[in-house]
Amino acid sequence: MNKIHEIFNKKNDDNLLDKETPLNKEEKLKILNMTMEKISSQENKKISKKKLIVSILVATFMIGTIAMASEYFESDLDNIFLNLLSINKNDTRLDSATVNVNKTVSNNGLDLTVRQTLGDDHAIYIILDVIAPKGIKIPENAYFNTTNIDLHKFNGGGWSFEDLNDCNYSDNKKSYIIDYHSQSNLTNNKISLFFYDFGYYSEKDKKFINLIKGKWNLSWDLKYNNTSKTFKVNHFVKENNYKSLITSISVSPISIYVNLLGDQYDNFIITAITMKDGTVHNGDMSNLTGRECIFRSGGGGSSLLKSHVSGNFFKILDVNEIESVTIGNEIIKLNN
């Protein structure tokens, strides 16, 4: 009992610490036996009853700790985010950037739940669940006729409302994700979502068909850690006879945001992100369907003489491994 870590070392050598495989009965007995062997090997020392009990408790604690290890080292991200952004379930780097909302609002028999959000300084993903009344089947192309997002402050932003691939179109449940990017800082702000009239677009009738009329709104605080890393740039770029100054670039594992001086943001497109290992992620958003582009969505905006361009990634990137960002034909080296 003098050196408990020796028992741990022996256990590790026997490859018992396997996060992917639960301990079976034989492995638990093996740990207990090793502890008892450690005690009995000290022949020249008198083992008190108290020490014996403590030793057994240590072995029991070890068994419980190892059995639960896989849970502690798995990400808290919803499985939808893990699949959407190709995140390994053991990657916990983005756990602090999430908010477990789990808020539901009901109206006219339809339940709308905001499950979880994942965000950074200027971008956020929101998972929504819709449950219609029993007997109403939600078609493949169902959506809310009107969606509004309010940050309770002056803000310019844009969003997309994506239907998550649900193989069962014969039930009354459906999940969506909102991909939102904002000109304002999102962290620690209050956000409100407003939805009006749930239905689908009829190709036959060439109009929106209401399934359930009504209004649904939810509000919550975006209390999460900002994972963005901001680089001061102050680099002039020129495209299509327009000149602008890139003042800064903010990058997180899920998005990129570029600040410019000048109001012609649509002339300055993020065309590539290059990693330190030479990997080049294409920024051409002309083909978003085949994942040939690193961006899931993107946009820009201007206010007086300032503007910005941004993009939300298809998969997470390691910010510390980004070498440069290409805007138009200009390669901007990051001091990373």
pLDDT tens-place string over residues 274-320: 999 999 999 877 655 555 789 888 888 877 788 889 999 989 999 99
In a 3-state reduction of DSSP, which class is residue 36? helix
Mean pLDDT score, 208-224: 96
* Largest interatomic CA distance in the chain: 92
The pLDDT of residue 244 is 87
Asked if 257 and 308 count as a contact pair (C-beta separation under 8 A), the reply is yes
Q: pTM to 2 decimals?
A: 0.74
Torsion sign, CA atoms 94, 100, 101, 106: positive
Q: Would you say the C-alpha torsion 307, 313, 316, 319 has a positive or negative sign?
A: negative
**Residue 75, pLDDT score:** 67
Above 60 in pLDDT, residue 11?
A: no
Question: Is the distance from CB of 224 to CB of 116 less than 8 angstroms?
Answer: no
Domain residue spans of the chain = 4-72, 80-221, 229-333
CATH classification for the domain delimited by 80-221, as one of 1.10.1240.10, 3.40.640.10, 2.60.40.1630, 3.40.1710.10: 2.60.40.1630
